[in-house]
Amino acid sequence: MKKQVLFVCLGNICRSPAAEGVFLHLLEQSQACDRFVVDSAGTGGWHVGKAADARMRAAASRRGIQLPSRARQLERADLNRFDHILTMDASNLLQVQALAGKAGGSSLARIEPLLRYCSRFDVSEVPDPYYGGAEGFEHVLDLLEDACSGLLQALDD
Ligand code: 4NP
């Protein structure tokens, strides 16, 4: 059975598509693509259908990472479709947990903050880079590369 992993942020145009791309890149490097299904979604629906933010795509591309996703909004069915849901910040975590609560607490997915899997950084949230400068996007990628590497080690046993 493939492991199903969903990354969640607010808009699904910056942090979670970047996490998806970083994780896919690591899977390719370790020839583990066939063992995982990877996706991302946003708790908000403003950007549905859009490609990832151009600044995020450019920063990722400089590291050899492509971001293929199109924004979509998280839906209740995701809570049972995925084994693992990784959130970017405390607000996303609360939103996903609230959706799970509405579903009668029956969700199958394990819901947790992605940065729990960091080993080089001691921070709990991926800051939203949307309204900031270029360095914010680099910092997001630094955090995601660290956390996604830890996540892959934890899941690919
Ligand atoms: P993301 O960033 O949650 O990392 O995709 C955001 C992008 C856009 C908005 C919020 C967050 N927005 O409100 O438009």
From 53, 128, 146, 148, the catalytic residue: 128
Residues 6 or more apart in contact with residue 104 via CB below 8 angstroms? none
Is pTM, for the whole model, over 0.85? yes
pLDDT digits (tens, 9 = 90+) for 18-53: 999 999 999 999 999 999 999 999 999 999 999 999
User: CA-CA distance, 143 to 126, in Å (whole number)?
Assistant: 7
DSSP state of 39: E
- Say how many Å lie between the CA of residue 30 and the centre of ligand 1: 30
* Mean residue pLDDT across the chain: 96
- Say how many Å lie between the CA of residue 9 and the centre of ligand 1: 8
User: CA-CA distance, 69 to 33, in Å (whole number)?
Assistant: 16
pLDDT at 103: 63
User: Is 118 an active-site residue?
Assistant: no
For ligand 1, atom 14: residue with the closest CA: 11
Confidence of residue 101 (pLDDT cuts 50, 70, 90): confident
Domains in the chain, please, with CATH?
A: 3-156 (3.40.50.2300)
Cβ pair 114, 19 in contact under 8 A: yes
First-residue to last-residue Cα distance in the chain? 13
